[in-house]
Homo-oligomer: A and B are copies of this chain.
């Protein structure tokens, strides 16, 4: 089955950043087989892009999809993580709720043009099932933590979970299971080492929260006289498998180590800012050619599971931090959401740019909305003007999952109704808890 996509401005995001105004692309099954100004090959069906912008599907390198039921609860509450999220999660999160929350979250990501995500949460087998149903490209990581959690009565139960969960999904064409110790300060050294051994044994990635919190930084300084990154490096845990989320509080030495060991960083700017935590030194990381992708973080942290508001936030915040309006031009920011994200997850041979022989993961953003005129520069329009509601069409691995802003294989109302049913107890308990704690 061959499909021609025509009448689009194509941002290939390839090495030369080729752009084809009024360009064409042909995909066959899951692959891109021709792309350029005019395609000469034959095709079975044709998609008219109506002057939209065709670009690679966006890549979300850090999120917690099971947390949709938390969205909007206690947003402005101090130390929310320990006061609110951990207790509620431990008591009232269930396999069924994670499954329905993840389905809904995937719908939200697809509708906003995200085609690949890296999730870490509990009951991750449910997330993998949901990703399989939604046909998304997914990295699904089971959380390991030093306290009893919603999916384990004993601390560190995630290690056992990984033992059966990873082999179960390892050969899925679109799904990569991985090991996700929660953070450097919620796993002791012994268990971080065990997690790392597991990742090596199954040859899968490892991801956790690093250098995110003030008290985490203080703890490592007091206990080890090292930064968390130096600590990881010292114990042989820093390597190409790692996707380190946040990395807000990192110094020059940390950055050199990240580069040297080819570890990747998930930049979750919106979530970090909203929590008042600080700004990751993006310019320094890029100067050192560290692999950096973008992460929405969970829906209770960044609130939206889309990257458009992040693109504008990156431009605004990092230009200001560097006091330079020419820093971080729009094209480079869009690269973080696409090809750089693919490099961070080591899947740039498959996705992240639109090139022959790569997988057909792409999106079309419509340019009819009022804020998209005039359109001198499509990179500028996407970064500074567009919002998530303007994604018209989404393909993952050659399959059309969103067309004219609607899910093609399921209905949003259905997913919402199932999630509402699944979260009845949770929502009630959450509101009671918030009232009791005066949040």
Contact = CB atoms under 8 A, between A and B. Distances in A.
Interface of A: 68-69, 71-73, 75-78, 80, 104, 107-108, 111, 270, 272-279, 303-306, 309, 312-313, 315-317, 319-320, 322-330, 369-371, 373-377, 380-381, 384-385, 387-390, 412, 416, 419, 423, 427, 430-431
A384 B380 CA distance: 23
B278 A316 contact: no
B384 A75 contact: yes
Contacts of A306: 371
Given A325-B76, A326-B78, A371 B304 contact: yes
B275 A78 contact: no
A317 B273 contact: yes
Total copies of the chain? 2
A309 B387 contact: yes
B68 A373 contact: yes
A72 B375 contact: yes
B390 A325 contact: no
Contact of A274 (B80, B316, B423): B316
Contacts of A323: 276-278
Contact of A320 (B276, B375, B384): B276
Contact of A374 (B327, B374, B389, B427): B427
Contact of A326 (B77, B278, B316, B329): B77
Nearest to A321: B276
B319 A276 contact: yes
30 contacts: A72-B376, A72-B385, A73-B376, A75-B330, A75-B377, A75-B384, A76-B330, A76-B380, A77-B325, A77-B326, A78-B324, A80-B325, A107-B370, A108-B370, A111-B370, A272-B320, A273-B315, A273-B319, A274-B315, A274-B384, A277-B325, A303-B384, A304-B384, A304-B387, A312-B313, A313-B316, A317-B317, A373-B416, A376-B427, A389-B390
A385 B301 CA distance: 11
A435 to B, nearest CB: 11
